[in-house]
């Protein structure tokens, strides 16, 4: 085995796991880990801990005593700290009739109904304690949700207009053939953002068990919601692609961290059933 005659002043060593890097300074004979360097994330990469305005340390009690202010603040934080995880399972509708001129005419195709059935069976096989199903009021999402409900007959179902398809925000980079009228971004964007604020937040402090909400909606809506949840630039939504009837799963932990467990999963369908447009 060869022996090196000298050691370079600075040797970079990569950990096998790729999770940490080390460097060695000969003069000081000290090893440092990468996270002790002067690295600072860019402002856009910083995580906003209070993104849903429910971080316990930011919630102030109206009955805080001036005498025991610190103690009362600690009690207030403990009282408002969530204990459970909220899981949001986002389902894109199945393939639909693109020739339909109205929403009612944009019903699922034969393949679209089959895709929804595959997804319903997959959700049943996961055997999670589903809390509820929320469906967009548009025909293709409503029909997809109804087919899924056949596999999950005991899960309560509701509808929400906020989840309807639309143009959330001008995409970056622009896409040549995607140019809705400018006013659509103002109208749809506000509505879809309202959907994000309604469904994406950490659990209430009194929620004892993890919840699992199935949301059946649309590709643009899901892509925007994912970008917002992960605190990516919302303008990046059109860089993402989703299969019809695919499964996207986001967990919101008690600390408020959002974890993307799967995005656009369609592995439960055979290749000949996969479509995206």
pLDDT tens, residue by residue, 68-124 = 555 556 777 888 899 999 999 999 999 999 999 999 999 999 999 999 999 999 999
Q: Is 173 exposed, middle or buried (0-12, 13-18, 19+ CB in 10 A)?
A: exposed
Q: Around Cβ 44, how many Cβ atoms within 10 Å? A: 8
CA proximity to 136, closest of 212, 191, 211: 191
Assign domain 86-273 one CATH number from 1.10.760.10, 1.10.287.540, 3.40.50.300, 3.40.50.1240. 3.40.50.1240
Q: Exposed (0-12), middle (13-18) or buried (19+): which is 188, by Cβ within 10 Å? A: buried
Residue with tokens 């880990």: 33
Which tens digit of pLDDT belongs to each residue from 124-170? 999 999 999 999 999 999 999 999 999 999 999 999 999 999 999 99
Percent helix, strand and coil across the chain, each to the nearest 5 = 35, 20, 45
Q: Kindly list the distances between the CA atom of residue 131 and the CA atoms of 14, 88, 127, in Å, as whole numbers in the listed order.
A: 44, 10, 12
Alpha-carbon gap, residue 159 to 140, rounded angstroms? 13
Structure tokens at 273: 């059933």
| CA–CA separation, 1 and 92 (whole Å) | 58
Q: Which pLDDT score is estimated for 70?
A: 56
Q: Which pLDDT band holds residue 66 (cuts at 50, 70, 90)?
A: very low
Q: Where in the chain is the domain with CATH 3.40.50.1240?
A: 86-273
What's the count of helices (H) and strands (E) in the chain, helices before strands? 5, 9
DSSP secondary structure, 52-83, as one string = TS--GGG---TT--STTHHHHHHHHHHHT---
pLDDT tens-digit map of 181-200 = 767 888 999 999 999 999 99
């Amino acid at each position: 085995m060869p022996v090196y005659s000298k050691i370079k002043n600075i040797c970079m060593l990569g950990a096998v796991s790729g999770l940490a890097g080390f460097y060695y300074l000969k003069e000081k004979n000290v090893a440092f880990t990468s996270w002790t360097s002067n690295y600072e994330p860019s402002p856009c990469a910083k995580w906003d801990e209070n993104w849903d305005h429910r971080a316990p340390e930011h919630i102030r009690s109206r009955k805080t005593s001036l005498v025991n202010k610190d103690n009362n603040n600690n009690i207030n934080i403990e009282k408002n700290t969530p204990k459970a995880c909220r899981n949001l399972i986002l389902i894109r509708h199945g393939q639909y009739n693109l020739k339909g001129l109205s929403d009612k005419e944009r019903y699922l195709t034969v393949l679209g109904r089959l895709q929804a059935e595959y997804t319903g069976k997959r959700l049943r096989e996961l055997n999670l304690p589903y809390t509820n199903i929320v469906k967009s009021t548009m025909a293709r999402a409503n029909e997809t949700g109804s087919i899924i409900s056949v596999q999950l007959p005991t899960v309560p179902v509701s509808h929400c207009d906020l989840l309807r398809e639309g143009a959330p925000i001008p995409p970056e980079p622009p896409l040549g053939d995607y140019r809705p009228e400018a006013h659509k971004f103002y109208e749809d964007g506000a509505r879809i953002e309202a959907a994000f604020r309604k469904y994406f937040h950490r659990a209430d402090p009194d929620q004892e068990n993890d919840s699992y909400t199935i949301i059946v909606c649309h590709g643009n809506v899901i892509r925007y919601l994912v970008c917002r949840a992960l605190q990516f630039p919302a303008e990046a939504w059109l860089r993402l692609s989703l299969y019809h009837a695919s499964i996207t799963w986001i967990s919101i932990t008690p600390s408020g961290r959002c974890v993307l467990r799967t995005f656009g999963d369609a592995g439960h369908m055979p290749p000949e059933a996969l479509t995206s447009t």
